[in-house]
Structure 1
Amino acid sequence: MKTILVTGSNGLLGQKITEKILTEGRVNLIATAKGANRFPVNGGYEYAEMDILNAIQVKEVLVKYKPDAVIHTAAMTNVDTSEANKEWCYQLNVTATQNLVSLCEDQNIHFIHLSTDFVFDGADGPYLESDKPNPLSYYGETKLLAEVAVQKSNAAWTILRTVLVYGITHDMSRSNIVLWAKGALEKGGAINVVNDQWRTPTLAEDLAEACLLVAENNAKGIYHISGKDYMSIADLVRKVADYWLLDQSLILEVSSVSLNQIAKRPGKTGFILDKAIKELKYNPHSFEEGLKMVDEQLKRH
């Protein structure tokens, strides 16, 4: 059985990978994150504290556990924070990745890197893996720089780009578009939602499955991983309202420009999944199925 080391295991994707491995037992897991483990189950896998900005610590952990693959989920993902804290964003998204991939190269470890639809400008999505990136935000820029560093390395590498990930963590510490929309509509106040951005939202469980499929099958190269349903953010929020029987009249459609966000967002992204479906046998849930899974998990909380 392969041993997989995950960075950022306290995050949404990290927790879903842990959950999947504990339930299905397909690989051995070394979960790593900065600080204490926030996953509620401690048995069945190893946890190691690892700050991706601490090069010495990262090397010690990799040498100790000698994983077959590293799934690198840790990153600064808040687009506006990235724009406001460029140096910190660069350290987390570029420097840490360069360091990790070079250690993987030295130790013959398969490096699986998580990236984003924000490497594209959104002029004509949905996108194929072969389409040319052109990021609009500093966040997108750093993720593209990290991709380039990965591709230039001599490590065995895979880049998984994804779109608008949603789901729930055990400690409810991370929000996302679905939880935000549900929570805001339940409060009964009007919310502004953009109607000029289009995405293929991704269920965190589906992305976790794709990560494991890549590790297990030694798949190399770039893969686009997301949900299969293409919709505007306004449509997405309407579907959330519809599912939880919330008041759709509270949803006010606005243009991206009117929100005055620090960072520019791409208009139409979303992914064409043919390559992942064919080569990885990736089979994502529909958006409605994803909402049902989130609902069942919320009921258990």
Structure 2
Amino acid sequence: MKTVLVTGSNGLLGQKITEKIINEGGVNLVATSKGINRFPTEDRYVYAEMDILNAEQVREVIEKYKPDAIIHTAAMTNVDTCENQKELAYQLNVVAVQTLVSLCETYNIQLVHLSTDFVFDGEDGPYDELSAPNPLSYYGKTKLMAEEVIKNSSAKWAILRTIIVYGIVSDMSRSNIVLWAKGALEKGEPLKVVNDQWRMPTLAEDLADISLLAVAHNAQGVYNASGKDMMSIAELVYRVADFWRLDKSLITEVSGATLNQAAKRPKKTGFILDKAMTELNYQPRSFEEGLRILDRQMKSTIS
């Protein structure tokens, strides 16, 4: 049985990978994150505290547990924060990857790395894996730099590019666009939502699935790993409102230019998913199915 080490295990994707491995088995999990473990149980896996900026600690943990594969989910993903804190973004999104790549080369470990649609400028989405990147934001630039570090290494690697990940964790500590929209509309708060940016939102469970499929298949190369439904951000929020029967009159559509955000966003990304579906048997759920899964999880969390 393979041993898989996950970075950023306290994050949304990290917790979904932990949950899937606990429920289905198949691999030995070493969950790692900065600080204490936030996952509700500690059965059937090992947790090790690991700060990806502490190269010595990273080396010690990897040498101790000798993983066959590392799924690298930890990153600085807030696009505007990356724009405003470039040095920290560089350290977290590029230097930490250099550390992991070096160790993967030394110990012959497969690296499964999470990347983003923000490596593209959004001028001609949806994109396939061979499309030329051209990031608009510093976040996108750091994620592209990390991809180049990986591609130029002698490590075994797979890069999974994804788009707007949504889902819930047990303590509801991780927000995302679906939970934000639902929460605001339930409180009767007016929302300004952009209608000139298009994405393919990704259920966290689906992303956990393909992360582990990449390990199981010894995947090599770049794979698109998003949801399968394309929609504008405004349509996404309207669909959240419809699903939970919330007041759509609170939603105002605006153009991205009016929001005065620190970082530029690509207009239309989206992915062609044929490669992941054919080679890795990736089967993403529809957006409606994703919302139904969230709804069930929320009800079981409350009860």
Place the TM-score, normalised by the shorter chain, in its bin: over 0.9
Aligned partner of residue 222 in structure 1, secondary structure: strand
Shift of 1:300: 1.6
The equivalences for 1:161-200 within 5 A come to 161-200=161-200
How big is each residue's C-alpha offset from its partner over 1:97-150, in whole Å with a ceiling of 9 and x where there is no partner? 011011101000001110000000000111100000000000000000000000
Q: How many residues align?
A: 301
**CA offsets per residue over residues 244-273 of structure 1, 9 Å max, x none?**
000111110000000000100100001110
Amino acid at match of 2:228: K
1:160 lines up with 2:164 in the alignment:
no
User: SS of 1:160's equivalent?
Assistant: strand
Q: 1:31 corresponds to which residue?
A: 31
After TM superposition, give the deviation of residue 189 of structure 1 in Å.
2.3
Q: Which runs of 5+ in 2 are unaligned?
A: none
> How far apart, CA to CA, are the structure 2 residues paired with 1:170 and 1:183?
16
Equivalent AA in structure 2 for residue 100 of structure 1: L
Unaligned 5+ runs, structure 1: none
Q: Which runs of 4+ in 1 moved over 2 A?
A: none
Secondary structure of the residue aligned to 1:161 is: strand
User: Normalising by the residue count of structure 1, what TM-score does the alignment of the two structures yield?
Assistant: 0.99
Structure 1 CA distance, aligned partners of 2:51 and 2:283?
A: 33
- SS of 2:234's equivalent in the other structure is helix
Per the alignment, residue 78 of structure 1 pairs with 78
User: For residues 214-229 of structure 1, what are the structure 2 equivalents within 5 Å?
Assistant: 214-229=214-229
Amino acid at match of 2:129: E
Q: Distance in 2 between matches of 1:286 and 1:31?
A: 29
What's the offset of the Cα at 1:8? 0.2
SS in 2 for 1:300: helix
Q: Residue type of the partner of 2:133?
A: P
Q: Please state how far the C-alpha of 1:169 moved relative to its aligned partner.
A: 1.3
Structure 2 counterpart of 1:79, which letter? V
Question: Quick check: 1:272 aligned with 2:272?
Answer: yes
Superposition map of 1:87-126 within 5 A = 87-126=87-126
Identity %: 70
* Alignment match, 1:237: 237
| Counterpart amino acid of residue 29 in structure 2 | L
Paired residue secondary structure (1:93)? helix
Task: Give the Cα separation in 1 of the matches to 2:26 and 2:252.
Answer: 45
The offset of 1:243, in angstroms, is 0.3
Partners of 1:52 and 1:242 in 2: CA distance: 40
3-state secondary structure, aligned to 2:151: helix
1:157-215 Cα distance to aligned partner (Å, 9 max, x none) = 11000000000012211110100000111111221000001001000000000000000
Tell me which residue corresponds to 1:18. Answer: 18
Q: Given residue 152 of structure 2, which amino acid in structure 1 is its aligned partner?
A: K
Alignment partner of 1:76: what SS?
coil
Residues in 1 aligned to 2:101 and 2:168: alpha-carbon distance in whole angstroms: 29
Measured against aligned partners, the alpha-carbon deviations of 1:42-75 in whole angstroms (never above 9, x if no partner) come to 1100000000000000000001111000000000
Task: Within 5 Å, give how 1:194-213 maps onto structure 2.
Answer: 194-213=194-213
| Aligned residue number for residue 144 of structure 1 | 144
- Paired with 2:194 and 2:221, the residues of 1 have a C-alpha distance of 33
CA–CA separation in structure 2 for the residues paired with 1:170 and 1:131: 37
The aligned amino acid for 2:219 is A
Q: Distance in 1 between matches of 2:35 and 2:124?
A: 41
Query: CA separation in 2, counterparts of 1:140 and 1:170?
Result: 29
SS in 1 for 2:290: helix
TM-score when normalising by structure 2: 0.99
Matched to 1:271, the amino acid is F
SS at match of 1:61: helix
